[in-house]
Amino acid sequence: MIFQVLGKDPSSAARLGMITTDHGQIRTPIFMPVGTVGSVKGVYHRDLKEDIGAEIILGNTYHLYLRPGLDILKEAGGLHKFENWDRPILTDSGGFQVFSLTGIRKLTEEGCTFRSHIDGSKHIFTPENNVDTQRIIGADIMMALDECCPGDADKRYARKSLDLTKRWLERFAKRFSESEPLYGYSQTFFPIIQGCVYPDLRVEAAEHALEYADAGVSIGGLAVGEPTEKMYEMLEVLNPVIPQDKARYLMGVGTPANILEAISRGVDMFDCVMPTRNGRNGMLFTWDGVMNMRNAKWENDFSELDPRGTSFVDHTYTKAYLRHLFIAGEMFAAMIASEHNLAFYLDVVRQARAHIEAGDFAAWKDAAVKKLTARL
């Protein structure tokens, strides 16, 4: 993987970039739809490419390891072939999912022992077998195994957690360097910068991670319970520490406003389940604000779903029709809403790139955030 900075905004830390992988190029800033178990829930790959404009999607190591399992994935020739996706894929190490299994996991120096949420069977992720697992899955960009520290952790816990993450990173990097890709194309991995909301720990984590970083790093442990302003503060702390030639991936974030604020603080890559999860529950993001499609106010509104939208569904279906589908419990409602929200998120980063290139991103961002956070 190669990352290149192609331009910068004069009034913020926002920048334009290009990631090149063996499965294609990715323009940054970019939003990556989440395809946890080998699919972006409720959305055809055809629509992801042609209508939504996804340049890269995610898979999750924890979920794919449990189901369909590594034997099936290896026999299929990796996740790209298994799900018939010929563009880049990024995989989370599964660390966040494992550490969310409160009560059915145990952290040790060796790794993390956990029980499957599917059948209760016992498993362990170590830095070494996590590399092996992600080699079998075959993502273009892999994540190092880390402990995701809670956003409200005290400094003593955050210190202990970071030390464990650092030791695991060293072992992960060693195994990665000793192993090879399985399917004839290259892979890279991003170290994950932890440190909770403590600036000195974040800087220490970044400096350590950069010893093992190739083309990029991930920023983890944010949007996990801490105030939003603390997240922005940590990004501001990290921006001058991370070299300009490294892609920065903010994991699991967030709302459209969060994304624009993070872009202004130097972040290049984003993922979040919010556009599809919230869409399935009737929430649509638009340039004029957020709509709850179950509200009675849309019952007789026969206007386009989103006149300013970029998706096919925005100009095909009306607000009244989509509300009817949600009230009726029709699965098609979730599909329409998911496609709209993903297309909107991709339009947000597309517009951000255009304004960075034009040199007026900072002013445009401030005006956009006010509208994006309105409730319609």
Q: Is 169 helix (H, G, I), strand (E, B) or coil?
A: helix
Report the alpha-carbon distance of residue 348 to residue 368 in Å, rounded: 10
Which residue among the candidates 92, 140, 314, 347 is catalytic per the annotation?
92
What's the CA angle centered on 19, arms 17 and 25, to 5 degrees? Answer: 115
**Residues comprising the chain, all counted:** 376
Residue 271 is a catalytic residue:
yes
Which residue among the candidates 9, 51, 146, 271 is catalytic per the annotation?
271
C-alpha dist (Å) from residue 11 to 233, 242, 264: 18, 19, 9
What would the two tokens of residue 290 be? 């957020």
What would the two tokens of residue 347 be? 């339009």
Phi, psi of 361 (to 5 degrees): -60, -45
Q: Is 221 left (phi over 0), alpha (psi -120 to 50) or beta?
A: left
CA-wise closest residue to 143 among 154, 127, 158: 127
Contact status, residue 305 vs residue 317, Cβ threshold 8 Å: yes
Q: How far apart are the first and last CA of the chain?
A: 42
SS3 content of the chain, % helix, strand, coil (to 5): 45, 20, 40
* CB neighbour list of residue 125: distance below 8 Å, 6 or more residues apart: 62, 93, 94, 95, 98, 111, 112, 114, 133, 145
DSSP structural state of residue 375: B
Contact status, residue 111 vs residue 145, Cβ threshold 8 Å: yes
Residue 9 is a catalytic residue:
no
Tell me: cis bond preceding 240? Omega within 30 of 0 counts.
Answer: no
- Give the catalytic positions in this structure: 92, 271
